[in-house]
Amino acid sequence: MEKTFASMTVQEKDAAYSRLAQQLVDDERVPRALRELAQDPRVTVRRGGAPGEGKCVVYWMQRAQRGLDNHALNLAIAVGNALDLPVVAYFAGISNFPHANLRHYAFLNQGLPDVEEDCAERGVGFVMRRAPHEDHLKFFADVDAVMVIGDENPMREPEKWRVHLAEELRVPFWTVDADVIVPSKLLEKAQFSAAVARPRLYRALPEFLVPYSNPHAEMKWKRPPGLHADDVREDITRGWKDFDCSVKPVEAWTGGHHAAVKRLHAFVATMLANYDRDRNHPEIDGTSKMSPYLHFGHIGPQTIALAVAAAAKQHPHMMAERESYFNELIVWRELSVNFVRYQPEYDSPACADKWARETIAEHDRDQRELLYKLPQLENAQTYDELWNAAQIQMVRYGWMHNYLRMYWAKKIVEWTPNVRIAMKVAIYLNDKYFIDGRDPNGYAGIAWSMLGKFDRAWFDRPIFGKRRYMSGGSTGKKFRSALYIEQAKALPE
């Protein structure tokens, strides 16, 4: 019996999609311009064939929520121009996105007017439909789509949606890897460590770290009379009865592409010069704080990397800062995407490497001096003031400094009965409170901290075995921890 796409491994799907792409390239019924576009390494042909009769090309926007510097939208416009058809971007506001709550949706909501405005400037339509009107197939039929372009998302559920849509559609469906610099499938398999991934990623940068084309649609889309569209400036969650509103938005954050670009410019202009010195000081505003914007696709990593590279070129003394920042933005972030893409058990201890599984098996039942229940951890009620401050920053601010995310996760291993429960607790808190939660970076960070993923074996010790350990004493001495603790306590509830 032939395997379905849903039952295939990532490598099997990649091979099957590659065959679909080759069939399309060889199909003379497909316009030559489209056959050439299909060969872009960012493109995955999920449903092939020639575009049928219709009125527009649709870009199904999900992960890359921006109207500029978006490879998927750029491709949709290129396809539309090749077919002499207009382009409309479509966003579906679903009410049951896994682990999402009001904090996440408020940030997302703030970005939608930017998308509408930026698309309009490029001659592209934008339609948002919120539950219960968000049926994809109905929208594609309502606008009479000849072809659908989507963006990639390596997470488990969104990938299932793409596989399912490819089965349901009767028009060509391509997806575009729009939120990494180096297309994820080019790494071909799971990477063991940053040291292994780094040279492979950096070899590809000359080809892929280039300015966006940002073409304009040659035919402007006009909304058909009576087409249902929801107002992007209204609360997307209004009326949703079963939606989680328990976690409130954070007023200190503003979502959207325009806010992301503003923060990027401030970082490059005033913080990048000291990034190598300040990045491990949680009490200082010395990092880019791009992670929430990257998570929602309000900005792409390529835009950020190009801005950082341009500043370092203009000021050669900042080359060390450039390299340090690229290591985080490109190496570790794209390693995280690779991890989630090729490791189906990315959110469980089953993803640990052999040496880590062995040391976990040996020490997982070691006696803990102190165990905390989930409500105590969630409410920052531990004896450790530094950990409490990090948890408060998470709950009240929706973000935590990366250096403390490692310490935060490792202490949970010490305070819960075993690593399986520790991961469940960490992922629950990560996904519930972080604006940038529910993201490959978060799952990879938890796996690194708790399972030794991408790390090496260290000296054997109780509970952790050979996994890297972080003590509160040594961690707190590396920055002004007392100031950080006071800053966290002062955050508005």
pLDDT at 412: 98
Helices (H) and strands (E) in the chain, counts: 21, 6
What is the number of structural domains in the chain?
3
Domain final position from 178, 212, 244: 178
Same domain? For 14 and 133 the reply is yes
pLDDT tens sequence across 353-370: 999 999 999 999 999 999
Q: Would you tell me how many other CB atoms lie within 10 Å of the CB of residue 429? A: 21
**Do the domain assignments include residue 239?**
no
Looking up residue 281, the CATH number of its domain turns out to be 1.25.40.80
**Mean pLDDT value across residues 483-493:** 96
**Do the domain assignments include residue 219?**
no
Which residues face 87 on adjacent strands? 57
Handedness of CA 129, 135, 137, 142 (dihedral sign): negative
**Do the domain assignments include residue 61?**
yes
Same domain? For 32 and 167 the reply is yes
Same domain? For 91 and 136 the reply is yes
**Do the domain assignments include residue 217?**
no
Range with the lowest mean pLDDT among 51-55, 332-336, 372-376? Answer: 51-55
Domain final position from 300, 324, 342: 342
The band of 2, judged by pLDDT with boundaries at 50, 70 and 90, is low
Same domain? For 391 and 332 the reply is no
pLDDT tens sequence across 430-479: 999 999 999 999 999 999 999 999 999 999 999 999 999 999 888 889 99
Looking up residue 412, the CATH number of its domain turns out to be 1.10.579.10
Average pLDDT, whole number, for the chain? 96
Same domain? For 336 and 358 the reply is no
Same domain? For 16 and 164 the reply is yes
**Do the domain assignments include residue 202?**
no
First to last CA, the chain: 57
**Do the domain assignments include residue 144?**
yes
pLDDT tens sequence across 375-402: 999 999 999 999 999 999 999 999 999 9
Same domain? For 87 and 159 the reply is yes
pLDDT at 56: 98
CA 307/CA 203 separation, integer angstroms: 20
Angle at 281 between CA 276 and CA 285, to 5 degrees: 85
**Is the pLDDT at 3 greater than 90, yes or no?**
no
pTM for the model stands at: 0.97
Domain final position from 178, 202, 237: 178
Same domain? For 15 and 163 the reply is yes
Same domain? For 163 and 275 the reply is no
Same domain? For 449 and 309 the reply is no
**Is the pLDDT at 329 greater than 60, yes or no?**
yes
pLDDT tens sequence across 79-133: 999 999 999 999 999 999 999 999 999 999 999 999 999 999 999 999 999 999 9
**Do the domain assignments include residue 209?**
no
Same domain? For 160 and 27 the reply is yes
**Do the domain assignments include residue 224?**
no
Q: Classify residue 201 by burial, with Cβ atoms within 10 Å: 0-12, 13-18, 19+.
A: buried
**Is the pLDDT at 1 greater than 70, yes or no?**
no
**Is the pLDDT at 166 greater than 70, yes or no?**
yes
Domain that holds residue 121: 5-178
Looking up residue 150, the CATH number of its domain turns out to be 3.40.50.620
Query: Cα separations (Å) of 100 from 61, 79, 121, 281, 437?
Result: 18, 33, 31, 30, 9
Same domain? For 478 and 356 the reply is yes
